[in-house]
Amino acid sequence: MVRTRFAPSPTGYLHIGGLRTALYAYLLAKKDGGKFILRIEDTDQERYVEGAVEMIIDTLNDTGLVADEGPIVGGDYGPYVQSERKEIYAKYAEELVERGGAYKCFCTKERLDKLRSESEKTGDMFKYDKHCLNLSKEEVQKRIDNGEPYVIRQNIPTTGETSFDDIIFGTIKVDNDTLDDTVLMKSDGMPTYNFANVVDDYLMGITHVVRGTEYLSSSPKYNLLYQGMGWDIPVYIHVPPVMRDATHKLSKRHGDASFDDFIQKGYLKEAIINYIALLGWSPGTNQEIFSLDELIKAFSVKGINKAPAIFDVDKLTWLNAQYIRDLTPEKYNEYADKYYDVALPPGERNYDLLARILQPRTEKFTDIVGQLDFVKELPDYSIDLYTHKKMKTNAEMAKGIIEKAKAVIEELDDFSESCIHDALFDLVKQLELKNGQVLYPIRIALCGKAVTPGGAVEAACLLGKDESVRRLEIAIGMIANA
Ligand code: GLU
């Protein structure tokens, strides 16, 4: 059975690239009826952010990438949090030392710094010089008994080469002498990623490792560890990074790096998932809109690109607009409500009207605030707006029309949308003008801007009778005084 995992570090931040890795791992497992596992990689306690684990789990559950096993749901291969697995790593590290694949190193920071600065001088890549490799067992034990701190280092062969296979990048070979004896266990008893990922992927029965290409170059070392322990090597799928453009990564500072940034910007989670699926993966058809279930069916690692993916926010916005259009008006209003709270004065809301005028024009929910900005306050506007070539209107004509509209509106006892509609269309008839010639100036007077969702009728309805009359009066005064 296929078992994949998502192994984020709880840094308080779910990167879009990380979420995409999770998605691909999820799709790969589900396509095969397999299991998707969440493992929290928190061995670097300095980067740990309170609440980050909950945030990751909530996001996965929210987006539908529900983990079959993980910190809260549990499972047969737990614990799923690395800091709770310290004894496990310690045990396997000792075993690897016994097998010759690793050794204890007592070198001080001073000695290592000296080595480092020497290699800087010669321009060579820094490599630990295996100084502690040949310490006798007795010597090692004596120094441990003396309370000397030590790390455990991987014992990389100095000759030969190590190769590994990646589904996307093919076979990669490296000369062993280019690899450093990296630290596997730190002096505080915590493993490094280099060791923990191998132990956990093995013990958790992970069949396919999906992760970023930043781990590509160290994968030969991991293979040496698997071999050193006599364990089967999983299938590797290293996915290229997600970039803002050819040279820049997505960044926290630009507010374009985390899943949450996009939710805050008014994108729907379904649209984000759909978009990131296509970011670096192609279904091989022209289909662009995919539900999660459809993605499971269509997904294949063969469609993953080798090249870095460029995040195209316009494409995401376009997709988002498709998803928004497909919502029921009720659902639309549910999402929109918090933006209505910002844009509209308190009081009853005509939800039916709001969804009708806004839903077809919303690309992302944050658009709503700008689209309704005229409601709370009439914008400062110039009477030049009344001049519209196509409608053949100008301020002078507009004044007459607005005066009549004001009279008509003042007469209305029932200020429902249909009554406003009938009253204004009667006025059009009576004036023997085109709809636009009458309704355009009224809308400008009501909204103080050229582009608004909905027309004069909807604007009047949103504003209410008193405010509509007040704004029509303002317009009349403005034109008269111009
Ligand atoms: N904790 C690593 C990260 O967040 C996981 C890498 C992996 O998937 O193995 O980058």
Please tell me the total number of residues recorded for the chain in this structure. 482
The rounded Å distance from CA 469 to ligand 1 centre is 62
Nearest to 437 by CA among 472, 397, 404: 397
Identify the three-state secondary structure at position 282: coil
Give 386-409 as a DSSP string: G-BTTTTB-HHHHHHHHHHHHHHH
Using the CB atoms, write b or e for 25-45: b if 16+ within 10 Å.
bbbbbbbeebbbbbbbbbbbe
d(Cα 94, Cα 129) in Å, to the nearest integer? Answer: 21
Q: What is the atom index within ligand 1 of the atom nearest the CA of 5?
A: 8
Model pLDDT, residue 390: 85
How many of the other CB atoms lie within 10 Å of CB of 4? 25
Q: Is the peptide bond before 79 cis (omega within 30 degrees of 0)?
A: yes
Identify the three-state secondary structure at position 304: strand
Model pLDDT, residue 251: 75
pLDDT in tens, 160-206: 999 999 999 999 999 999 999 999 999 999 999 999 999 999 999 99
d(Cα 293, Cα 291) in Å, to the nearest integer? Answer: 5
Token look-up 């000695």 returns 111
The CB of 41 under 6 Å from ligand 1? The reply is yes
Model pLDDT, residue 389: 86
Which of 195, 214, 215 has most ligand 1 atoms within 8 Å of CB, for mutation?
Answer: 215
Cβ pair 42, 81 in contact under 8 A: yes
Model pLDDT, residue 203: 98
Give nearest CA residue, ligand 1 atom 10: 8
Q: What is the atom index within ligand 1 of the atom nearest the CA of 197?
A: 9
Q: What is the atom index within ligand 1 of the atom nearest the CA of 211?
A: 8
Give 87-121 as a DSSP string: HHHHHHHHHHHHTTSEEEE---HHHHHHHHHHHHH
The rounded Å distance from CA 323 to ligand 1 centre is 31
The CB of 197 under 6 Å from ligand 1? The reply is yes
Give the tokens for residue 224.
Answer: 């040496």
Which of 211, 222, 226, 258 has most ligand 1 atoms within 8 Å of CB, for mutation?
Answer: 211
Model pLDDT, residue 13: 80
Enter the DSSP assignment of 205: T
Model pLDDT, residue 110: 96
Model pLDDT, residue 253: 73
The CB of 7 under 6 Å from ligand 1? The reply is yes
Cβ pair 4, 36 in contact under 8 A: yes
Nearest to 115 by CA among 130, 131, 126: 126
The rounded Å distance from CA 232 to ligand 1 centre is 20
Model pLDDT, residue 124: 86
The rounded Å distance from CA 16 to ligand 1 centre is 14
Enter the DSSP assignment of 235: E
Residues of the chain falling short of pLDDT 50: none
- The strand order across the sheet containing 183-185 reads 102-105, 151-154, 183-185
Q: Amino acid letter at 358? A: L
Give nearest CA residue, ligand 1 atom 5: 7
Which of 4, 5, 6, 9 has most ligand 1 atoms within 8 Å of CB, for mutation?
Answer: 9
The CB of 9 under 6 Å from ligand 1? The reply is yes
The rounded Å distance from CA 211 to ligand 1 centre is 7
Token look-up 């209003």 returns 333
d(Cα 304, Cα 164) in Å, to the nearest integer? Answer: 19
d(Cα 224, Cα 237) in Å, to the nearest integer? Answer: 18
The rounded Å distance from CA 192 to ligand 1 centre is 11
Active site residues: 252
Model pLDDT, residue 446: 98
Give the tokens for residue 249.
Answer: 């990564």
